[in-house]
Chain A
Amino acid sequence: MVRQFDPSQPLEMQKRQYQQMVNRLVPRPPVWRNCLWAFGVGGLICTAGQGIVSFFQGVGLSFLDAATATSIVLVFLAAFLTGLGLYDELARYAGAGMLVPITGFANAMVAPALEARTEGLVLGVGARLFAVAGPILVFGIVTAWLSGLIYYLFGPRPPLGS
């Protein structure tokens, strides 16, 4: 057995040895298997989403409205499955495949809120619903606002008299 950690060495050296030891012991994620799961499950959720979009287009909605209605359906399903405890069970295998679709956004809202019920409705459920959703909305809205502002300042001008 190789000595991994030598207390007689100077502190800097000890730190480096310790870091090497940690790096050796921390399990490496099975990257290829994770990627396969993420690709397959994420792809399937999007395919199901396309099925719902096509259905809504079939009953007369525009693509944009159909996509919005699809988000509502997917968010409902994800909130329901998270409540049952199934979503997080499946996400253990699917990883980013169930994190990246809009269902993952819903899961990230429900899961912390569910755990925080004992802390009350306002500071427990109400606040924790936005534990992850809050940052997403902050960065999304700020980026969108900047995009709109840049368009307003430098974008094409509407023709005079319109």
Chain B
Amino acid sequence: MLFLKAFLVGGFICLLAQLLMDLTSHKVTPAHVLVGLVTTGAVLSALGLYEPLVKFAGAGATVPLTGFGHLLAQGAIKGAAREGLLGVFRGGVASAAAGITAAVVFGYFAALLFRPKG
């Protein structure tokens, strides 16, 4: 059941993004879609709407990039609650640090070790 919910919710978020790309002008690039997703995730999270989706769908909500925005926003909010203004600055990136570091490190080594195609 958990897996079905992850499939349906995760798939649906991807479907919405696909519609956004196909039904709008060519100026909407993948970069715009990704920026839109992370911002949407952070805003929904701040409004308290994303956490219920995570409770419902697990990885279906955390794996899409909206989940990255959720992680950042929750980090900043919990930081604010715990340590005040300093936490506002520290909390967001701190909570997403593992993912960011993984992307930079693995990305760097992949770019170094592999040859470009064509």
Q: Which positions in A face B, CB cutoff 8 Å?
A: 29, 31, 34-35, 37-47, 49-54, 63, 67-72, 74-76, 79-80, 82-85, 95-97, 99-102, 104-106, 108-110, 113-117, 125-126, 129, 132-133, 135-137, 139-141, 143-152, 155, 158
In the complex where A35-B15, A38-B18, A42-B14 touch, is A50 in contact with B60 (Cβ < 8 A)?
yes
Q: Is the CB of A101 within 8 A of B10?
A: yes
User: Which residues of B have CB within 8 Å of A79?
Assistant: 103, 106-107, 109-110
Q: Is the CB of B102 within 8 A of A83?
A: no
User: Which residues of A have CB within 8 Å of B6?
Assistant: 43, 46-47, 49-50
User: Which residues of A have CB within 8 Å of B9?
Assistant: 46
User: Which residues of B have CB within 8 Å of A67?
Assistant: 59, 62, 67
Q: Is the CB of B22 within 8 A of A34?
A: yes
Q: Is the CB of B63 within 8 A of A70?
A: yes
Q: Which positions in B face A, CB cutoff 8 Å?
A: 2-3, 6-15, 17-23, 30-31, 33-35, 37-39, 42-43, 45-46, 57-60, 62-65, 67-69, 72-73, 75-77, 79-81, 84-85, 87-89, 91-93, 96, 98-100, 102-104, 106-114, 116-117
Contact of A75 among B10, B84, B92, B103 (CB under 8 A): B103
User: Which residues of B have CB within 8 Å of A145?
Assistant: 76, 88-89, 92
State the Cβ distance, A78 to closest chain B Cβ, in Å.
Answer: 8
Q: Is the CB of B76 within 8 A of A144?
A: yes
Q: Is the CB of A110 within 8 A of B111?
A: yes
User: Which residues of B have CB within 8 Å of A85?
Assistant: 114, 117
The CA-CA distance from A38 to B14 in the complex, in Å, is: 6
The CA-CA distance from A120 to B63 in the complex, in Å, is: 32
User: Which residues of A have CB within 8 Å of B21?
Assistant: 95-96
Q: Is the CB of B63 within 8 A of A101?
A: yes
The CA-CA distance from A79 to B59 in the complex, in Å, is: 20
In the complex where A38-B17, A100-B37 touch, is A114 in contact with B116 (Cβ < 8 A)?
yes
Chain B CB count within 10 A is highest, among A46, A70, A129, A132, for A46
Q: List 26 A-B contacts (CB under 8 A).
A: A37-B18, A38-B15, A43-B7, A43-B11, A44-B11, A46-B9, A47-B6, A49-B6, A68-B98, A71-B63, A75-B99, A96-B20, A100-B34, A101-B65, A104-B30, A105-B68, A132-B31, A132-B34, A135-B35, A140-B42, A140-B92, A147-B42, A147-B45, A148-B76, A151-B46, A151-B80
